[in-house]
Amino acid sequence: MALQCGIVGLPNVGKSTLFNCLSNAKAQAANFPFCTIEPNVGVITVPDERLTKLAELVNPQRIVPTTVEIVDIAGLVKGASKGEGLGNKFLANIRETDAILHVLRCFDDENVTHVDGSVNPVRDKEIIDYELQLKDLESVDARISKVQKQAQTGGDKQAKLAYDVLVRYKEALEQGKPARTVKLENKEDEKFARELFLLTNKPVLYVCNVDETSAIAGNKYVEMVRGAIKDENAELLIVAAKIESEIAEFETYEEREMFLSELGLEESGVNRLIKAAYRLLNLETFLTAGVQEVRAWTYLKGSKAPQCAGVIHTDFEKGFIRAEVIKYEDYIKYKSESACKDAGKMNIEGKEYVVQDGDIMHFRFNV
């Protein structure tokens, strides 16, 4: 499932450093703008402790985690919507992603140049917001000019629906608000909105890149960002990219855990970021457990059993008969598939079953 999160931000906020921690694809990290021009794509393993616990019970030949794609997009600058810097290319790269990880500099360091001369994450956020909103407004205005006459004079219901949604987006964007703040009335509106591919309608996670001493509780800059996004329908995550780059240098899991423990951190920022990116893309995981492999499979939240069967193989969806489902907690409690079955903890589900995160699935099919 090739859904992607794009990492964006102004130059020198720590995007490429974070990407390097996330991925084995080593993006160039340098102290000057436009270091990253072509977007680097990393296929990142999603940490899932459930796989390890299942493997301890099943003792499979291999463990296969699920993945998510992260794209490192070059730093945007003021005027990008008009093609300044490498603006048009950057905006096109963002448009191709499904969600945005917006990195904000929330640390002081006189050795790392800031393109605007001082640290102010809210100003930085607003610079990028403004460029994305301008581009969206341009798109919305172009669409309005196409449907306005039909919507106002004819009996074209679809044109009226489109016009009404476009006008609401135009009002929000002209007020400096992202498109995702607009509440849509029904599924028809939502479907049309998705077809617009507006940059500011994408789900966003603000990643506050802090210094080591602020890695747990944040700092004044993080609080500034928190206040700025409170009405925006967006999430916030605190990460210290410098710490993460040090963690990435350790060769063993034990060394990383010891380092985290010394800093008072339960989990690395990279792990939290990957999990947050996965949720941001509206993805969940079902599991399969057998002696050959214990495996995590990615599906879109809300998918039904046949669609999830199709994730494994299209034939499974075509010839779907039923799904045998064990809840992860029950499998851990009873320690095997047969014990779960004997305890009445294996459910037989049909085509309308909505798969839940962590379900251990076995599909029956006939083609």
What would the pLDDT profile of 91-100 be if each residue is shown by its tens digit? 788 888 999 9
Q: What is the pLDDT of residues 190-206, one digit of tens each?
A: 899 988 989 999 999 99
- Kindly give, in sequence order, each residue whose CB lies less than 8 Å from that of residue 227, ignoring residues fewer than 6 positions away: none
The pLDDT of residue 311 is 96
Judged against a pLDDT cut of 70, whether residue 64 lies above it is answered with yes
pLDDT confidence bin for 29, thresholds 50/70/90: very low
Q: What is the pLDDT of residues 69-86, one digit of tens each?
A: 888 886 665 655 555 444
Count the neighbouring beta carbons within 10 Å of the beta carbon of residue 267.
12
Judged against a pLDDT cut of 80, whether residue 147 lies above it is answered with yes
Q: What's CA 292's distance to the chain center, in Å?
A: 30
Judged against a pLDDT cut of 60, whether residue 365 lies above it is answered with yes
Judged against a pLDDT cut of 90, whether residue 27 lies above it is answered with no
Q: How far apart are CA 134 and CA 354, in angstroms?
A: 39
Judged against a pLDDT cut of 80, whether residue 155 lies above it is answered with no
Give the relative orientation of helices 157-174 and 187-196 as an angle to the nearest 10 degrees.
60
pLDDT confidence bin for 30, thresholds 50/70/90: very low
* Token output for 6: 């794009």
The pLDDT of residue 75 is 61
pTM (predicted TM-score): 0.84
Beta partners for 326? Answer: 346, 360
pLDDT top residue among 73 and 225: 225
Give the relative orientation of helices 121-153 and 87-95 as an angle to the nearest 10 degrees.
70
Q: How far apart are CA 342 and CA 33, in angstroms?
A: 62
The pLDDT of residue 28 is 40
H or E, element range at 342? helix 337-342
Judged against a pLDDT cut of 80, whether residue 332 lies above it is answered with yes
Q: What is the pLDDT of residues 336-359, one digit of tens each?
A: 999 999 999 999 999 999 999 999
The pLDDT of residue 252 is 83
The pLDDT of residue 92 is 80
Between strands 235-239 and 346-349, the pairing is unpaired
Count, residues in the chain? 367
pLDDT top residue among 81 and 170: 170
Judged against a pLDDT cut of 60, whether residue 25 lies above it is answered with no
* Token output for 175: 């007020």
Q: What is the pLDDT of residues 287-309, one digit of tens each?
A: 999 999 999 999 999 999 999 99
DSSP, residue by residue, 164-218? HHHHHHHHHHHTT--GGGSPP-SHHHHHHHHHHT-GGGS-EEEEEE--GGGTTT-
Average pLDDT, the chain: 87
The pLDDT of residue 367 is 82
Give, as one character, the DSSP assignment of residue 84: -
**Cα-based angle 193, 280, 79 (whole degrees, multiple of 5):** 65
pLDDT (average), residues 61-67: 92
Count the neighbouring beta carbons within 10 Å of the beta carbon of residue 334.
18
- Does residue 63 sit in helix, strand or coil? strand
The pLDDT of residue 88 is 61
Q: How far apart are CA 51 and CA 66, in angstroms?
A: 10
